[in-house]
Amino acid sequence: MTTVRHPWLHTAAGILVIAVLLFPIYWMVNASLQPNGATVDTSWLPLAPDLSGYRTALADQGAHLVTSMVVALGSVVLSLAIAVPAAYALAQFRLRWAGLVLFGILISQMIPGIVIANALYGAYADLGLLNSIPGLILADSTAGIPFAILICRAFMQSLPPAVVEAALVDGAGPVRAFVSVVLPISRNAVITAALFTFLFTWSDFLFALTLTTTEDVRPVTLGIYTYLGAYVNDWSAVMATAVLASVPAIVLLVIAQKYVAAGATGGAVK
């Protein structure tokens, strides 16, 4: 018995699924180009595109976009500076309590964000870190560090011990071997951890809402929230801000997709 296959059916189904998933993005871009700022009675195509929404968004939310970028990049640097050496130690060193440490890291991932935000608010009030970029970087790193440790450790466990031992025999110290040998080999895992940490921070709303109370330090997610209300009549500026906020994440995902695919599966097999 032969089975009749229709590859075009699978292709059509895939295109349909992708179209459904991408439609909200298309509608966001379409609404941002509408001259009247409406989203309900807007046309399916931006036949008369108007960039006034983007001009308003850049004027009102430009500083918030810069704040989000600074916080996201700072969180990536801090998270990797702590997570990558910790992942290497947990993967390659014979630590007695390594299993317990990993269990604690997994448990920390299950703590609701609102619990962490409320705890940080009291500590930040005493330390003077409210409404500050360093405070947001530290808060967002609480999500990036555990995830980066798990991703990098899974990859570094697959590294042959002989590679590090060869570097040590050649005269390199533990730090030199880690920087010159382990990090280049673990590039895919590190890039994956950096990308997801950036996305966590870039899309953060809870910490931004809890730990900032003024407009001096306000990420773009909170800036979009302030745009919304019962009397919003110009949705083009709202949608334009959403489009601008989506661009960095889309660009990074396109650039780093091959590294993410390799880094996410690199530790699956030895």
83 vs 39, more confident? 83
DSSP designation for 179: I
pLDDT band at 269 (very low <50, low <70, confident <90, very high): very low
CA pair distance 139, 129, nearest whole angstrom = 10
CA pair distance 76, 16, nearest whole angstrom = 36
CA pair distance 66, 37, nearest whole angstrom = 25
The per-residue pLDDT for 204 is 93
Q: What is the mean pLDDT of the chain?
A: 85
Total residue length of the chain: 270
CA pair distance 42, 34, nearest whole angstrom = 7
Closest listed residue to residue 150, CA positions, set 262, 263, 270? 263
pLDDT tens across 103-114, in order?
888 888 888 888
Q: Give me the residue label for tokens 């699956």.
A: 268
CA pair distance 49, 117, nearest whole angstrom = 41
Q: How far is CA 266 from CA 89, 156, 261, in A?
A: 18, 9, 8
CA pair distance 17, 13, nearest whole angstrom = 6
The per-residue pLDDT for 32 is 86
pLDDT tens across 168-210, in order?
787 777 788 888 888 988 888 999 999 999 999 999 999 999 9
- Write down all domains in the chain, each with its CATH number in brackets: 62-265 (1.10.3720.10)
The per-residue pLDDT for 38 is 59
pLDDT tens across 112-141, in order?
888 999 999 999 999 999 999 999 999 999
Q: Average pLDDT, stretch 8-22?
A: 89
For the cut 60, the answer to whether the pLDDT of residue 2 exceeds it is no
pLDDT band at 268 (very low <50, low <70, confident <90, very high): very low
DSSP designation for 2: P
The per-residue pLDDT for 266 is 52
Q: Is 45 helix (H, G, I), strand (E, B) or coil?
A: coil
Q: Is 206 helix (H, G, I), strand (E, B) or coil?
A: helix
Q: Average pLDDT, stretch 83-90?
A: 91
Cβ neighbours of residue 152 closer than 8 Å, sequence gap 6 or more: 83, 84, 87, 88, 91, 186, 189, 190, 193
CA pair distance 202, 65, nearest whole angstrom = 10
